[in-house]
Amino acid sequence: TQAHSILVLPGDGIGPEVMAEAIKVLKAFENPECKFVLREELIGGCSIDATGKPVTDEVKQAALTSDAVLFAAVGGPKWDKARRGLDGPEGGLLQLRKAMDIYANLRPCSSHSPSSSITKEFSPFHATGLDGVDFVVVRENCGGAYFGKKVEDADYAMDEWGYSTAEVQRVTRVAAQVALRHTPTWPVISLDKANVLASSRLWRRVVEETMTTEYPQLKLVHQLADSASLILATNPRDLNGVILADNTFGDMISDQAGSIVGTLGVLPSASLNGLPGDKTLQTRPYGLYEPTHGSAPTIAGKNVANPVAMILCVALMFRYSLNMENEAQQIEDAVRRVLDKGLRTPDLGGNLGTKELGDAIVAELRL
């Protein structure tokens, strides 16, 4: 029997409701050969109320000893005024990300994603413009301008935007591993502004060296980040592959990508510090899986939140942390069939509750 240890962090607002549905789906895959050992802990506002801290050292330690972490959402008006930064609810997530050093953030974006039918109704893109779009954004998430030195005077402010060779190498390896898992193998499309930024010139050189020495079988394309965003808006198929970007460009391109394939309630993401195929890894890779939406406090406790993003996080966890690709696809297929039948929560114009949609997805699994 294989026992997978999963740290479950429902958090605040709609977090516990959507997490309950994700766990329902997860449990449907238990059988004599495959067990999930779940440990549920507090994070965010609920952790502040109980312990005074948005995340405790004990929970951070639990994250480092689990096979994967499922995280829902944190925050809400109750804690907004009193606490900010690392002491606030979202500080719990930031601290956890730092403790796990999960430097690669993945967001899949595909016209055959489980939510493609809703995309056709809700995306600003017209239906055919999206056909055949298929890529994953891999964003560097622990370095660059968001973590560099800062100066903040009355008349001058500065953010240091720097990368080391090691930081670029490790995220390049994740992008390459994601590309290799796709059939037919994807190209890696690396975004930068090497024409104007020194950090981008190092980025481009290190990506090039890493790819040609370690992954010579993969195609590599360098794309200026500004033109990439134009292509994404006009001809997104031309970016099919793994889009690799630093923290700043990756933040922008992943939100732009999200807007063309779906709405907040259906988009999952993965944060990783490596993938199992990377031979340079010193430690077992960690993965944290979270929806791209927040805690939606105004709809919390009403059984109306859309659980799809959280449920698709379970699929990503199967794919990237637990080596369960077939099961990942079973979840994605079930979600697709349910949405295609028009079974939806109110945010997508439907009338099913959170629990009822979760039940419908479990019922559609072809185990």
Q: In the Cβ-directed half-sphere of 202, how many Cα atoms lie within 13 Å?
A: 13
Q: Tell me which of 296, 313, 324, 343 binds ligand NAI, using CB under 6 A.
A: 296
Interstrand relation of 268-272 and 104-110 (parallel, antiparallel or unpaired): antiparallel
Query: What is the C-alpha to C-alpha distance for residues 149 and 270, in angstroms, rounded to an integer?
Result: 27
Q: Does 295 bind ligand NAI (CB under 6 A)?
A: yes
Nearest-approach distance from CB 164 to ligand NAI, in angstroms: 27
- Of the residues 226, 302, 340, 341, only one is catalytic, namely 226
Q: Tell me which of 21, 41, 67, 90 binds ligand NAI, using CB under 6 A.
A: 90
Residues 344-363 that bind ligand NAI (CB under 6 A): 347
Q: Does 251 bind Mg ion (CB under 5 A)?
A: yes
Query: What is the C-alpha to C-alpha distance for residues 141 and 104, in angstroms, rounded to an integer?
Result: 6
Query: Per the structure block, which two tokens stand in for 51?
Result: 């312990």
> Which span (167-175, 190-198, 249-257, 299-307) binds ligand NAI, by CB under 6 A?
299-307
251 binds, among Mg ion, ligand NAI, none (CB under 5 to 8 A by kind): Mg ion
Number of Cβ atoms within 10 Å of the Cβ of 341? 11
What residues have CB less than 8 Å from 18, skipping those under 6 apart?
A: 72, 73, 291, 305, 306, 307, 309, 310, 311, 354
Nearest-approach distance from CB 259 to Mg ion, in angstroms: 11
The yes-or-no answer on residue 146 being catalytic is yes
Greatest Cα pair distance in the chain: 65
Interstrand relation of 104-110 and 188-192 (parallel, antiparallel or unpaired): unpaired
90 binds, among Mg ion, ligand NAI, none (CB under 5 to 8 A by kind): ligand NAI
Residues 289-328 that bind Mg ion (CB under 5 A): none
Task: Give first-to-last CA distance, the chain, whole Å.
Answer: 18
Interaction pattern, residues 237-276, with ligand NAI; x per rule: CB under 6 A: ---------------------------xx-----------
Radius of gyration of the chain (CA): 20
The yes-or-no answer on residue 53 being catalytic is no
Nearest-approach distance from CB 313 to ligand NAI, in angstroms: 12
Q: Which residues bind ligand NAI (CB under 6 A)?
A: 14, 18, 73-76, 90, 93, 264-265, 293-299, 305-306, 309, 347
Catalytic residues: 146, 193, 226, 251, 255
